[in-house]
Amino acid sequence: MIMVRHAWFSMTLLSDAVISESSASAGAHGALPYIPGAVILGAASRLYAGFDEATQQQVFHAGSVRFSDALPLGHDNGPTLPLPFSLHYPKGKSATEGVINLACGSWDDALGQRKQVRDGHVDQAGQMTEPALRLHQKTAVDMDRQRAEDAQLFAYESLAVGQVFLFSLSADQDVEGATWSRLTGHFADTTIRIGRSRSAEFGCARVAAVAQPPSWPCAIGSGPGIVLWLASDLALVDCHGQPKLVADGADFGFPHATIDWSRSFVRHRSYTPYNGYRRALDMERQVLSRGSVLTLRADTVDASALTRLAESGAGLYRECGLGRIIVNADFLAKQRPALRAVAVPSRAGEEVSGVAPAAWLDILAKRSARLTQRRLAESEGERQGRAIAQLYDQAARLAGGDVGPGPSQWSALRAAADGMPDVPRLHPHLFDDEHGICRANDGDWGRFVALTGAETTFSLWLAARFSEAENDAPLVMSQIARQAEAFVRQRRSQ
């Protein structure tokens, strides 16, 4: 008997989420119409350090625990699936006017040229659902010049705020109950950040546990035919470990079965996922696309093997949601399944319950105030930095040569100011007589200069600017150091 535990969760987007279909950094960023299981696995990775090595391997790498893709909530408040590629309709018409399922039916040439259904999701009632998407145009900012960088305009396509998705966790019977409880408890009621630019305005989502929704009706073990509907991408390899795009019965646990290609409809894609922990790209994956339909023929069908396939899936990367398969779905046993018009989720783009507009406005106001403060502080630092040339000219006259702190010393000052925003800690770190970076008794920082008629040193001048800046001292020091480093480097290269 196959024992697999399941737990279901809803994910409500509290802000737009950028889930790109490609990890490329150039070109347009189209959004996926769902949230991959790898994203959900990543949200669970904060539990990683709390497990021993064997449990880490079991939960996050071996496929014993599977984090499914989060798919749009159906019109019936149940799970949806990607529309199967076996559905076709006459070109020039709509799928809602009638489709033919070529996995069990035949096309009537009198209907004219056929067109394959390729996009969207469908619930058990036949209601098609397509997530709402938004386009955002952005530009990189040159912080030194406080303006948009040249040729750095880019666009993000995102899933709109307010939409609800469903996903599940499933685990084999060898996963300990304590481990399972920690995983499900982690997602029981929490807020997570997902997708690109999640440290900025995108990717906030609320996750909550929900009751297990009704399963898609399936006829496990009936008849010699096996119809497999890919609910997620499927990654297969051959006996040499190379990617495999032409499946056979053995890939699904039926070595004596053959694939009826006249009743099968498969598409492929390749992509290279980005690993946020390693900050690098993983290996390229070549997969059979979600929505593909494979029809197998066999003299006898092992019902337990079918159940195992439906529960545990097939192929690689199952821990990331790949390899999920619906076996002998009743929906694909119909020659003419009825589809209803696409329903854009009604809550898409709307305010999410429990998130007060005043709270969002307060957050935005504080963020705007911080940005304004930063710009003013950096502007003041830039203004003070213009005095650097005068300091070096005066010091050179007094010493009879080019003297004063070098580029590496200004760089150390900038690094300290950037890494230590706490003013009480930064001051002694810079000006302490024994260990300060800019201490007054240092041969370079203590060099005498005459600025506007009064004798001073580089150290004393900087300390005066530090006091004037008050709470903005770290930003002002950083900007002064940035300009001084560039000035001295250029001066001494001539």
pLDDT value for 1: 47
Q: Which has the closest alpha carbon to 103: 92, 91, 116, 113?
A: 116
pLDDT value for 454: 67
d(CA 340, CA 338): 7
d(CA 484, CA 387): 9
CA 355 vs. chain centroid, Å, equals 22
Interval 168-198: pLDDT, tens: 999 999 999 999 999 999 998 899 999 887 7
pLDDT value for 148: 75
In this prediction, what percent of the chain has a pLDDT beyond 90?
38
Q: What is the average per-residue pLDDT within 17-28?
A: 74
| Residue 55: band (very low, low, confident or very high) from pLDDT cuts 50, 70, 90 | very high
pLDDT value for 236: 96
User: Of 221 and 257, which is predicted with more confidence?
Assistant: 257
pLDDT value for 59: 93
pLDDT value for 41: 94
Interval 377-416: pLDDT, tens: 777 767 776 778 888 888 888 887 888 888 898 889 888 8
Q: Please determine, for residue 263, whether its predicted confidence score (pLDDT) is greater than 90.
A: yes
Interval 434-493: pLDDT, tens: 889 998 888 888 888 865 566 788 888 888 888 888 888 888 888 888 888 888 888 888
pLDDT value for 163: 92
Q: Which range, 40-54, 149-163, 221-235, 356-370, has the best average confidence (pLDDT)?
A: 40-54
Q: Please determine, for residue 22, whether its predicted confidence score (pLDDT) is greater than 80.
A: no
pLDDT value for 345: 58
Residue type, 61: H
pTM, full prediction: 0.69
| Residue 222: band (very low, low, confident or very high) from pLDDT cuts 50, 70, 90 | low
Q: Please determine, for residue 24, whether its predicted confidence score (pLDDT) is greater than 70.
A: no
Residues in the chain: 494
Strands (E), 112-195: 114-116, 121-122, 127-129, 133-142, 147-159, 164-172, 189-193
pLDDT value for 327: 93
Contact 18, 158 (CB under 8 A): yes
Q: 395: how many CB neighbours lie within 10 A of its CB?
A: 22
pLDDT value for 95: 87
| Residue 245: band (very low, low, confident or very high) from pLDDT cuts 50, 70, 90 | very high
DSSP H or E run through 206:
strand 204-210
Q: Which residue has the tokens 């009936």?
A: 222
pLDDT value for 357: 54
Residue type, 51: F
d(CA 180, CA 356): 34
Strands (E), 404-476: 448-451, 454-457
Give Cβ neighbours of residue 478 (< 8 Å, ≥ 6 apart): 378, 381, 414, 417, 418
**Mean pLDDT value across the chain:** 85
Sign of the CA dihedral with 218 first, then 221, 227, and 231 last? positive
Q: Please determine, for residue 354, whether its predicted confidence score (pLDDT) is greater than 80.
A: no
pLDDT value for 303: 82
Q: Please determine, for residue 347, whether its predicted confidence score (pLDDT) is greater than 60.
A: no
> Coil, strand or helix: which one is 288?
strand
pLDDT value for 264: 95
Strands 189-193 and 204-210: antiparallel
What value, to the nearest 5°, has the Cα angle with vertex 311 and ends 310 and 316? 85
Helix pair angle (423-431, 407-419), 10° resolution: 160
pLDDT value for 472: 81
Following DSSP, what letter does each residue of 289-350 receive, concatenated? PTT-EEEEE-SS--HHHHHHHHHH--SB-GGGTTT-EEESBGGGG-SS---EEEE--TTTTS
pLDDT value for 287: 96
pLDDT value for 295: 95
State the virtual CA torsion across 18, 24, 26, 30 in degrees, nearest 10: -40
Cα-flanking dihedrals φ and ψ of residue 168, to 5°?
-130, 155
State the virtual CA torsion across 14, 16, 20, 25 in degrees, nearest 10: -120
Computed on alpha carbons and rounded to an integer, the radius of gyration of the chain in Å comes to: 31
70-84, 126-140, 240-254, 384-398: the lowest-pLDDT one: 384-398
Q: What is the average per-residue pLDDT within 84-97?
A: 91
